[in-house]
Amino acid sequence: MNKTVRKAVIAGNWKMNKTPAEAKALLEEIKPLVKDAGCVVVVCVPYVDLAAALEATAGTGIGVGAENCHWEVSGAYTGEVSAQMLASMGVQYVIIGHSERRTYFGDTDVTVQKRARAALDAGLTVILCVGETLEQREQGITAELVAMQAKIALQGVSREELARVIIAYEPVWAIGTGRTATAEQANEVCALIREVVKELYDAGAAQALTIQYGGSMNAKNAAELLAQPDVDGGLIGGASLKAPDFAEIVKAATVG
């Protein structure tokens, strides 16, 4: 990563794990371990844990995010939570377009664009996930697919708003599988995303954009991944649920 031109961001994605009491306990464990972090640290947690997470992290510099949001401000959308609602609580980040949402909950490039738009309108920072399946990688369409996902999601996002967008490259085949992309594979696609952003905006905007890698990033492989020039951080699933492992990744980002 190139910390002279952009922020390194390590974000935990807790997925559907931890009750509010467990969230508080995990954050109490994480807090002292990351207090000297030289990168931005974020925890994205289930909706029910947001209040506990905001309380536990108050005054620490650790950012709190949700894992999804709806595109309408309010209305008859049973079970949904709007970006405005998240912002009103003090939530700063939201993950949009995670592959698990695309795979299990019918999210499409179009709904991802709508959710991202709503999140930006509410003042949130969006962690926008893109990435190919194994089948798509084997078909040789990774570059086109990831470019298309990014282009659709960024439709209507101004250059100014782009400062509140982080793109997370998460190859679907590397998520929760223990099969990490090699550092070269991760860097290649992160660099390609930066090219797409350069085409859409300009070189300055592309250079300033934080692009994370996600997919089985852990305490052991983080340093190598984060040493790549175009990998500016990580979106961490499993390893973010273990305080020492998460802290180790934050440390790798601080050094790298």
Binding site for ligand 13P (CB under 6 A): 13, 98, 170, 175-176, 214-217, 235-239
Catalytic entry in 98, 100, 132, 248: 98
In the complex with ligand 13P, the residue whose CB is nearer, 61 or 176, is 176
CA distance 18 to 149: 30
User: Which one, of 209, 227, 103, lies nearest residue 150 by Cα?
Assistant: 209
Shortest distance, position 147 Cβ to ligand 13P, whole Å: 20
- Whether 170 is catalytic is yes
> What's the full length of the chain, in residues?
256
> Least distance from C-beta 160 to ligand 13P, angstroms?
26
Residue of closest CB approach to ligand 13P: 237
Catalytic residue among 67, 100, 132, 170: 170
CB of 255 to ligand 13P, least distance (A): 20
In the complex, minimum distance from the CB of residue 175 to ligand 13P, in angstroms, rounded to a whole number: 4
Which pair of tokens denotes residue 231? 């990998």
For ligand 13P, which is the closer residue by CB, 237 or 256? 237
User: Which C-beta is closer to ligand 13P: that of 98 or that of 102?
Assistant: 98
DSSP letter at 182 equals P
Angstrom distances, CA of residue 102 to CA of 76, 77, 170, 218, 228 = 22, 19, 12, 24, 28
- Output 159 or 220, the one with its CB closest to ligand 13P: 220
Nearest approach, Cβ of 235 to ligand 13P (angstroms)?
Answer: 4
130 or 196: whose CB is closer to ligand 13P?
130
How far apart, in whole angstroms, are the C-alpha atoms of residue 214 and residue 240? Answer: 11
Intra-chain end-to-end CA distance of the chain, in Å: 7
Task: Measure the CA angle with vertex 176, ends 247 and 96; round to 5°.
Answer: 80
Return the SS3 of 66.
strand
Give phi and psi for 40, each to the nearest 5. Answer: -80, 135
- Catalytic positions: 98, 170
